[in-house]
Amino acid sequence: MTDTRYDRAPGDRPILADREEGTPAGVLVYTIGLVLAVALTATSFWVANTSLLWPPGIPLGLVVLAIAQMGIHLVFFLHITTGPDNTNNVLALAFGVLIVFLLIVGTTWIMYHMNHNMMPMERIMEMQR
| CA-based torsion, 32, 35, 37, 40: positive or negative | negative
Residue 98 φ/ψ region, left for φ over 0, alpha for ψ in the -120 to 50 degree band, beta for the rest? alpha
Residue 16: the pLDDT is: 52
Residue 10: the pLDDT is: 65
Contacts of 62 (CB under 8 A, 6+ apart): 44, 47, 48
Residue 82: the pLDDT is: 73
What are the pLDDT tens digits along the chain (129 aa)? 455 555 566 666 655 544 555 456 778 889 999 999 999 999 999 999 998 989 999 999 999 999 999 989 988 888 887 777 777 888 888 898 999 999 999 999 988 888 777 778 888 888 887
Residue 23: the pLDDT is: 54
Of 13, 18, 17, 6, the residue nearest 29 (C-alpha): 13
